[in-house]
Amino acid sequence: MWTVWSDERRLVATVTAPWGTVPGRAAMLGYLNETLVHGWDLAVATGQPPEADADLAGTVLALAPRIIPAEPRGGHTPFAPAVEPAPDAGPTERLANWSGHRR
């Protein structure tokens, strides 16, 4: 982990992110979600292996329903409806599916 994130004060400090004023921990999680989901998009579009580190993606996937509501989607919640994952989908693909992305 980066040194800056090892300081608990940074994780609870209020920061401004594009989606609002949130604790540092929430901003970090939001940016990590964006990186994993859009990295998956790019990998799929270019024929690259799309799965990120399984532990990292699994951790974000476990938290995603708490930060990205199932409903409503659209409007102020800029996500398409969740997509049913394929039976063999890995954690990064399932995270992308939760965010409304599909292969």
Q: Which residues contact 5 (CB under 8 A, 6 or more apart)?
A: 11, 28
Domain count of the chain?
A: 1
Q: Which residues contact 34 (CB under 8 A, 6 or more apart)?
A: none
Q: Which residues contact 13 (CB under 8 A, 6 or more apart)?
A: 23, 24
Q: Does 86 fall in a domain?
A: yes
Residue 4: per-residue pLDDT: 62
Model pTM above 0.75: yes
Task: Tokens for 98, please give them.
Answer: 């939760």
Q: Give the model confidence (pLDDT) of 16-58 as tens digits.
A: 998 889 999 889 899 999 999 999 999 999 999 999 999 999 9
Q: Does 8 fall in a domain?
A: no
Q: Give the model confidence (pLDDT) of 47-63 as tens digits.
A: 999 999 999 999 999 99
Domain boundaries, position 68: 15-98
Task: Tokens for 69, please give them.
Answer: 């509501």
Q: Does 67 fall in a domain?
A: yes
Residue 91: per-residue pLDDT: 98
Q: Does 6 fall in a domain?
A: no
